[in-house]
Structure 1
Amino acid sequence: MQTKLIEDVLYGPALMLGGSRLENDELIKLAREEFDGQPFCIVRNWMMLDILLPENEERDVRKRGLQPTVLLVHEAVFDSEGRIAARDSFITGFQKDYYGCFLESEETLFILAGRGFRKHVSSPAFQALNAYGNTGIRA
C-alpha cells in the first residue's frame, strides 16, 4: 500500500511550473546579493506538495503562519549554510511564503530553478513518502 502511495506522489499527474531560467552560478551570485544574511538554497527538479491534512492539523499549521505545502527537492544545487550537500534529495518544512520562483519555509528561502511540478497529496501519501525517503533534513 505504501509503495502505491509513493508511486502516485512521484509519478502521478501534476501541474507543471516554471522556476528561474538563470544558470546556477548566476542564481548563486544574485541570491548572495539580494538575500544577504538570509539562509537560501537553490534547487532543481522540485515538486511542491499541497498536503491535504485533517482539519485539526491544518488549523495548527495555519496558526503558526504557515501553509500545508512542502517542497520535495530531488537536486540541491547550492545551500548557503552548507547543511545540504549538492545533489541531496529532501523534503522541506511547511511553506511560509511563495512568490514566483521563491518558496520560503520557516528556516530557509528556496530558489526554484528550472522546471518543477505541483500537486495535491493525501496525508497518508505524504507520511509514506516522508518515512520512505526521510533524510533527516528539514530546511
Structure 2
Amino acid sequence: MDEQTARQALLDAPGTVMLGHTPAGETILALLDEHFPGRQFCLVRNWIWIDLDLPDDVREEMSRMQLQPVMLYGDVLIDSLGRFEGGDWLRSTPLVSFSQGCLFETRDTVHVLLGHGLRKRAELSAMVKIFRAEGD
C-alpha cells in the first residue's frame, strides 16, 4: 500500500463523531499557556482521532515509552513552528496525553482539536505510510 492509498483508506473508513473545541483565538492561547506553557502547538481542524490496531508486542513497547496507541490526522490551521502552512494536512506521532477535551499532546507538539472530528480505527502499518508527520 502506498501513501496515497493509505491516506484515502483512512479518509473513507467509517468513524464516530467526537467533539473538539471552538473557542476564540485568545482562549486557545490562554488554554495552551495554562496547560503547556512554552510548548510548540498546532491548531487542527477536520481531524481524525485514530485508534491503532497493532500487535501486542508493539503495544507493550509503546506503553514502556509512555505512548498511547493513538495518532491524529487533520488539516492544519496554524503551526507555531511554521512546519506546515494553513491548509496542509498532518499525521501526528503517537499520543502522550489528552486533556481539556481538545489538547492532543505528542512528544514534541500540542495539537488543539478544533470543531468536531471523527474517531476511527486503523492499522499502525497503514498509518506509518502516511508520511507528512509532525516531526516528533
Normalising by the smaller structure, the TM-score range is 0.7 to 0.9
Alignment match, 1:125? 126
TM-score normalised by structure 1 residue count: 0.81
Instruction: Return the offset for 1:76.
Output: 1.0
Alignment match, 1:46? 47
Greater percentage in helix: 1
TM-score normalised by structure 2 residue count: 0.83
Please give the residue correspondences for 1:52-131 in structure 2 after superposition, counting only pairs within 5 Å: 52-73=53-74, 75-99=75-99, 100-128=101-129, 130=130
Q: Which structure 1 residue ranges, 5 or more long, are not aligned?
A: none
How many matched pairs?
133
> Helix, strand or coil: the match of 2:96?
strand
One-letter code aligned to 1:97: S
Q: Which structure 2 residue ranges, 5 or more long, are not aligned?
A: none
Q: Assess if the C-alpha contact under 8 Å between 2:16 and 2:119 holds in 1.
A: yes
Instruction: Return the offset for 1:5.
Output: 5.3
CA 1:30–1:62 in 2, change beyond 3 Å: closer, same or farther?
Answer: same
Further displaced range: 32-41 or 106-115: 32-41
% of aligned pairs identical? Answer: 28
